[in-house]
């Protein structure tokens, strides 16, 4: 089990605090999310192959492919694996408010999935590349990961905050996020100006 995920599939408190700070996604929404190993059938969803990185969010469930749970893969419990988990989670939690917006019942889920399929489909016809990143929902979801990367920098895997999340040190993460508050807000504004024009 990766350090950030608890037995019941929820994220630890330190991870929730950090992901909330960088993504601005409601902390309770992140707390309600459940992280699960994906079944192989998810790989057959047509637009899944466009989804780089190995995770997908449907409703309140974030599915991670098997590699992420394997001891010889991203589930080895190393600081680097914790960092990779945080990076991908920072993107995936950005899909939680979108899923809520569309509705968590079966109709809403179907519409949400269809929105992706439609976007990917149309972009594929228009550009034949950048299919994934060009989609509006993806750009919106990417905010948290972008901010997290800016915040922790190239030496992120050995950053004290990654260790704090692995140890579920909520106090350390909260204090650090408070100190970094202005830097985080500035990065979020920069991201929105660059990528979220409407
Ligand atoms: Zn995504």
**Least confident range of 12-26, 28-42, 109-123, 148-162:** 109-123
The answer, yes or no, to whether residue 79 has pLDDT greater than 60, is yes
CA–centroid distance, 57 to ligand 1, in Å, is 7
Bridge-based pairing of strands 61-64 and 34-37 is parallel
- Provide the strand spans (E) within 91-187: none
Instruction: Report residue 21's pLDDT band, with 50, 70 and 90 as the boundaries.
Output: very high
| Residue 134 confidence (pLDDT) | 47
Mean pLDDT of the chain: 84
User: What percentage of the chain exceeds 70 in pLDDT?
Assistant: 80
CA–centroid distance, 187 to ligand 1, in Å, is 20
Q: How far apart are CA 126 and CA 122, in angstroms?
A: 6
- 152 vs 105: which has the higher pLDDT: 152
| Residue 156 confidence (pLDDT) | 84
pTM: 0.86
CA–centroid distance, 159 to ligand 1, in Å, is 25
CA–centroid distance, 22 to ligand 1, in Å, is 16
CA–centroid distance, 141 to ligand 1, in Å, is 6
Buried b (16+ CB within 10 A) or exposed e, 38-54: beeeeeeeebbebbeeb
The answer, yes or no, to whether residue 44 has pLDDT greater than 60, is no
For 131, residues 6+ apart whose C-beta sits below 8 A from its C-beta are 50, 120, 123, 124
Per-residue pLDDT tens digits for 133-161 = 447 888 899 999 999 999 998 888 889 99
Per-residue pLDDT tens digits for 81-97 = 999 999 999 999 999 99
> Which of 41-50, 66-75, 183-192: highest mean pLDDT?
183-192
Q: Domains of the chain: which residue ranges?
A: 13-195
């Amino acid at each position: 089990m990766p350090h950030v995920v608890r037995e019941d599939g929820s994220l630890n408190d330190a991870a929730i605090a950090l992901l909330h700070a960088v993504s601005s996604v409601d902390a309770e929404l992140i707390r309600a999310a459940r992280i699960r190993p994906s079944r192989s059938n998810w790989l057959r969803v047509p637009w899944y192959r466009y989804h780089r990185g190995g995770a997908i969010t449907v409703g309140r469930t974030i599915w991670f492919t098997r590699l992420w749970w394997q001891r010889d893969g991203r589930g080895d419990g190393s600081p680097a694996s914790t960092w990779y988990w945080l990076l991908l989670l920072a993107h995936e939690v950005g899909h939680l408010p979108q899923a809520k917006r569309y509705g968590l019942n079966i109709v809403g889920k179907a519409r949400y999935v269809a929105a992706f399929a439609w976007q990917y489909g149309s972009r594929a016809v228009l550009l034949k590349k950048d299919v994934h990143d060009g989609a509006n929902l993806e750009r919106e979801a990417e905010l948290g990961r972008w901010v997290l990367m800016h915040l922790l920098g190239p030496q992120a895997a050995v950053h004290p905050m990654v260790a704090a999340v692995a140890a579920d040190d909520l106090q350390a993460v909260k204090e650090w996020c408070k100190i970094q508050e202005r830097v985080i807000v500035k990065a979020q504004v920069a991201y929105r100006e660059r990528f979220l024009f409407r």
